């Protein structure tokens, strides 16, 4: 698998999670390059936090937040966040631009994504708003 789909080593699980200031759900650590990749106007963003996190709560408007309480909401992104926009057009695999509807219509796509990921052709770390591997989000066949 590509490096982006391997578990990080040397970090304690506690250092990779923090409660979202809006909804209280534990967010997972995400890098600044990932956030900048999804912002509508990345040049206007000046990071103020030491660490940043992704909020995966479907009902929360916050997508990214900092350990200083700063927040980035959906309206500041050019990317639709699939976990927060649960419809057929929502992307589940950002690397290959595959939506929920694509997977419902073609069971072979899961294998395609696995194969491409093994070949090192994914870019989940920046393409996926969560900064994590897309494979865990794909439906099982």
- Cβ proximity of 138 and 92 under 8 Å: yes
Q: Which residue segment(s) compose the domain that 31 sits in?
A: 11-76
Percent share of the chain, pLDDT over 90: 72
Average pLDDT along the chain: 88
Asked whether residue 115 falls in the same domain as residue 66, the answer is no
Confirm whether 61 is domain-assigned. Answer: yes
Asked whether residue 71 falls in the same domain as residue 96, the answer is no
Q: How long, in residues, is the chain?
A: 141
CATH of residue 61: 2.20.25
SS3 101: helix
Is residue 67 predicted with pLDDT exceeding 50? yes
DSSP string, 94-128: TTTTEEHHHHHH-TTHHHHHHHHHHTT---HHHHS
Asked whether residue 69 falls in the same domain as residue 117, the answer is no
Asked whether residue 23 falls in the same domain as residue 70, the answer is yes
Confirm whether 4 is domain-assigned. Answer: no
The reported pLDDT for the residue numbered 5 is: 64
- Strands (E) across 3-117 are located at 17-19, 26-30, 52-54, 62-66, 71-73, 91-93, 98-99
Confirm whether 81 is domain-assigned. Answer: no
């Amino acid at each position: 698998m590509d490096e982006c789909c391997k578990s990080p080593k040397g970090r304690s699980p506690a250092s990779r999670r923090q409660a979202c200031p809006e909804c209280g759900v534990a967010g997972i650590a995400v890098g600044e390059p990932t956030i900048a990749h999804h912002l509508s106007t990345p040049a206007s963003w000046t990071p103020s936090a030491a660490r940043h996190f992704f909020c995966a709560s479907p009902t929360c408007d916050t997508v990214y937040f900092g350990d200083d309480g700063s927040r980035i909401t959906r309206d500041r992104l050019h990317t639709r966040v699939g976990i927060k926009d649960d419809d057929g057009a929502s992307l589940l695999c950002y690397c290959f631009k595959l939506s929920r509807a694509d997977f419902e219509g073609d069971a072979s796509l899961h294998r395609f994504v696995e194969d491409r990921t093994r070949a090192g052709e994914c870019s989940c770390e920046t393409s996926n708003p969560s900064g994590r591997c897309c494979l865990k989000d794909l439906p099982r066949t």
